[in-house]
């Protein structure tokens, strides 16, 4: 028997040796992997131990209720417990750990998650779970709560969720809640949470450029609803709030009936300047320059640019086109062309959101107005003196036509147009006759910068007109002697471009001082210049080769940066370029 067993053992050993030595076969191996089922079984066993108090080595005391646990399991799930038990903290060596300001029911849910890997997050427990998972540094569970709250955002709760997220420094949820509020402001402002906001919060949202409203009336009504929710405590904040309501953009009839007739506003003397600003805007249009007269970024009302006529690339053809450019969509739309008007070197400006052009080559005295409401050109009273290479500007509700050329002489004459009487009147002449100068209104005065004094010579004079006494004065000269220049006023600073210079200059009327502020990619002259969306648009013009260009740029005075924009519809120079407001649902 012993011999047989020995022979059998020898046979098995020999067989195993032969298996491993067979060079024709790969080396065999086997890996035991029970996978998730094994892990789940272990968790179930640990959980049953916890519930039975077997092998537990620490007790969590929560709101008077004891929870026997295993330090290893807690540490494996929570950075908070890992630091407590693995460090020198006194609590790490205690048998009972008291955690305050959390509920026992929430702790029970988290322990079930730690030991079982499952938890149901719902509206009535998400805040407690997030708060506790944040405290215990269970990042996966905390992130799951954030995702759940993001999916629950609604106009009735977004402000509460934002405040909750901010208290736990959850930047992503705070930002998403704020963006939701700004995008759904119309609906949010109708709910109770909106009425419970503090004044600083409300001002922050009203002043945010990302606020989405179809029209400014919505903002005004939301502010008044908030104030009337607690008039005694809030009426003192009315002026601070209305400063961030763009009253000039309200419908004039609505302004007269709803704003000026409102009892709370009538009782607030601090609000009077804001009402005056709105009235002034209704009379003078975009001559009133303030943040409150600019449409919000996402309103149905937006600033658009109108490009009128001009010369083609070679300067031979006079273009009949009128094109509208929407900076937000970067789309062009064709508007009505001026009937039978194919002139160059005319002047253009806006008044009360309509576009005016006058004169043009050769010595025309025609004046036309484009109704922005009707998209129709209407001929109005002619200039008293035909002219071209002149400029127009609006000042205190009237249009001024300044200088120019009549084919023989540079002109010093200045004319003023009154829309009510549809007539032109003659004003005090320029101290020095000029053509192709820059003309702009700023701080209730008219400025004529540079220009040509004859065929070969230019001037650096700055001639300033005060309509109060109908007199001209000379100010600090320009830092250049150029013609074919353009100017605009933005935030009470004058900016000058052109004259075959690549530099952009600024002039501060209050300080009577000049400054070089930016550089274009190349020199330009006879370009279009207009303010839109707080930036200066430089459109077309002629380059150093005397050819028209379709290039477009923006200059941002805040950052000092120049950026190239999509090109014009065609190469053009000596054209009109202005900005008006247009409702986007038209």
pLDDT digits (tens, 9 = 90+) for 75-97: 999 999 999 998 777 777 888 99
The answer on 428 and 285 residing in a single domain is: no
The answer on 340 and 305 residing in a single domain is: yes
Q: What is the pLDDT of residue 282?
A: 87
CATH number (domain holding residue 568)? 2.120.10.80
CATH number (domain holding residue 95)? 3.30.710.10
Q: What is the pLDDT of residue 346?
A: 95
pLDDT over 70 at 24, yes or no? no
Calculate the CA dihedral of residues 151, 152, 157, 162 and round it to 10 degrees: -40
pLDDT over 80 at 484, yes or no? yes
pLDDT over 50 at 101, yes or no? yes
Q: What is the pLDDT of residue 455?
A: 95
Classify residue 101: in a domain, yes or no.
yes
Domain of residue 522, residue span: 301-583
The answer on 507 and 369 residing in a single domain is: yes
pLDDT over 70 at 155, yes or no? yes
Question: Tell me: the pLDDT tens digits for 352-399?
Answer: 899 999 999 888 999 999 999 889 999 999 999 999 999 999 999 999
The answer on 61 and 111 residing in a single domain is: yes
The answer on 498 and 466 residing in a single domain is: yes
Classify residue 4: in a domain, yes or no.
no
What percent of the chain has a predicted confidence (pLDDT) above 70?
93
Report which listed range, 14-18, 38-42, 306-310, is most confident.
Answer: 306-310
Of the three residues 117, 136, 152, the one that is the final residue of a domain is: 152
CATH number (domain holding residue 251)? 1.25.40.420
Average pLDDT score over residue span 233-241: 97
35 contact partners, CB below 8 Å, separation of at least 6: none
The answer on 484 and 541 residing in a single domain is: yes
The answer on 493 and 375 residing in a single domain is: yes
The answer on 284 and 346 residing in a single domain is: no
Token duo for residue 320: 């009949």
Classify residue 499: in a domain, yes or no.
yes
Q: What is the pLDDT of residue 11?
A: 42
What is the distance between the alpha carbons of residues 100 and 344, in angstroms, rounded to a whole number? 81
Q: Which residue has the tokens 């012993």?
A: 2
The answer on 473 and 562 residing in a single domain is: yes
β-pair partners for 331: 326
Q: What is the pLDDT of residue 4?
A: 45
Average pLDDT score over residue span 327-349: 89
Q: What is the pLDDT of residue 32?
A: 52
How would you label 30-60 residue by residue, b for 16+ Cβ within 10 Å and e otherwise? Answer: eeeeeeeeeeeeebeebbebbeeeeebebbb
Residues 441 and 395 sit within 8 Å (Cβ to Cβ): yes
Structurally, how many domains does the chain consist of?
3
The answer on 244 and 315 residing in a single domain is: no
β-pair partners for 561: 556
Question: Tell me: the pLDDT tens digits for 391-427?
Answer: 999 999 999 999 999 999 999 999 999 999 999 999 9
Q: What is the pLDDT of residue 23?
A: 55
Where does the pLDDT of residue 50 fall: very low under 50, low under 70, confident under 90, or very high at 90 and above?
confident
DSSP string, 315-376: S-SBP--EEEEETTTTEEEEEPPPTT---SS-EEEEETTEEEEE--TTT---EEEEETTTTE
In sequence order, what E strands does 222-311 have? 301-308
The answer on 128 and 268 residing in a single domain is: no
What pTM does this model have? 0.71
pLDDT over 50 at 13, yes or no? no
The answer on 431 and 398 residing in a single domain is: yes
């Amino acid at each position: 028997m012993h011999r047989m067993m020995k022979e059998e053992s020898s046979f098995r050993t020999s067989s195993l040796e032969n298996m491993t030595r067979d060079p024709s076969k790969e080396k065999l191996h086997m890996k035991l992997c029970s996978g998730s089922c094994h892990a789940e079984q272990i968790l179930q066993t640990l959980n049953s131990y916890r519930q039975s108090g077997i092998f537990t080595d620490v007790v969590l005391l929560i709101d008077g209720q004891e929870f026997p646990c295993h330090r290893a399991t807690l540490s494996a799930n929570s950075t908070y417990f890992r630091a407590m038990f693995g460090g020198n903290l006194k609590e790490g060596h205690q048998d009972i750990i008291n955690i305050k300001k959390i509920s026992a029911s929430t702790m029970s849910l988290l322990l079930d998650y730690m030991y079982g890997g499952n938890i149901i997050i719902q509206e009535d427990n998400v805040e407690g779970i997030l708060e506790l998972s944040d405290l215990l540094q269970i990042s996966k569970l905390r992130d799951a709560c954030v995702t759940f709250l993001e999916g629950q955002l609604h106009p009735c709760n977004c402000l509460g969720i934002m405040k909750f997220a901010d208290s736990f420094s959850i930047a992503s949820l705070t930002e998403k809640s704020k963006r939701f509020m700004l995008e759904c402001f119309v609906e949010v402002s109708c709910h109770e949470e909106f009425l419970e906001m503090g004044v600083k919060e409300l001002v922050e949202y009203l002043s945010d450029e990302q606020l989405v409203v179809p029209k400014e009336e919505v903002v005004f009504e939301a502010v008044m609803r908030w104030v009337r929710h607690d008039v005694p405590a809030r009426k003192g904040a009315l002026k601070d709030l209305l400063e961030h309501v763009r009253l000039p953009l309200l419908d004039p009839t609505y302004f007269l009936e709803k704003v000026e007739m409102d009892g709370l506003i009538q009782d607030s003397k601090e609000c009077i300047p804001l009402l005056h600003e709105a009235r002034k805007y209704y009379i003078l249009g975009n001559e009133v320059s303030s943040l409150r007269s600019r449409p919000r970024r996402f309103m149905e009302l937006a600033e658009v640019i109108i490009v009128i006529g001009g010369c083609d690339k070679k300067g031979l053809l006079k273009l009949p086109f009128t094109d509208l450019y929407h900076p937000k969509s970067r789309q062009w739309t064709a508007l009505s062309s001026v009937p039978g008007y194919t002139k160059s070197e005319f002047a253009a400006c806006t008044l009360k959101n309509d576009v005016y052009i006058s004169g043009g080559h050769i010595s025309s005295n025609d004046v036309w107005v484009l109704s922005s409401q009707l998209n129709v050109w209407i001929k109005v009273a002619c200039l008293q003196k035909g002219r071209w290479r002149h400029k127009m500007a609006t000042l205190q509700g009237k249009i001024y036509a300044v200088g120019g050329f009549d084919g023989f002489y540079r002109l010093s004459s200045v004319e003023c147009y009154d829309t009510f009487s549809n007539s032109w009147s003659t004003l005090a002449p320029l101290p020095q006759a000029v053509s192709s100068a820059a003309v702009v209104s700023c701080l209730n005065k008219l400025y004529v910068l540079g220009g040509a004094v004859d065929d070969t010579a230019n001037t650096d004079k700055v001639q300033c007109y005060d309509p109060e006494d109908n007199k001209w004065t000379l100010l600090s000269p320009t830092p250049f002697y150029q013609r074919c220049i353009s100017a605009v006023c933005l935030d009470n600073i004058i900016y000058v471009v052109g004259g075959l210079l690549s530099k952009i200059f600024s002039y501060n009327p209050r300080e009577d001082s000049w400054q070089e502020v930016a550089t274009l990619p190349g020199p330009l002259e006879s370009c279009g210049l207009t303010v839109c969306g707080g930036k200066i648009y430089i459109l077309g013009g002629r380059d150093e080769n005397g050819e028209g260009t379709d290039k477009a740029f923006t200059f941002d005075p805040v950052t000092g940066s120049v950026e190239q924009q999509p090109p014009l519809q065609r190469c053009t120079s000596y054209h009109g370029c202005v900005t008006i407001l247009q409702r986007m649902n038209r």
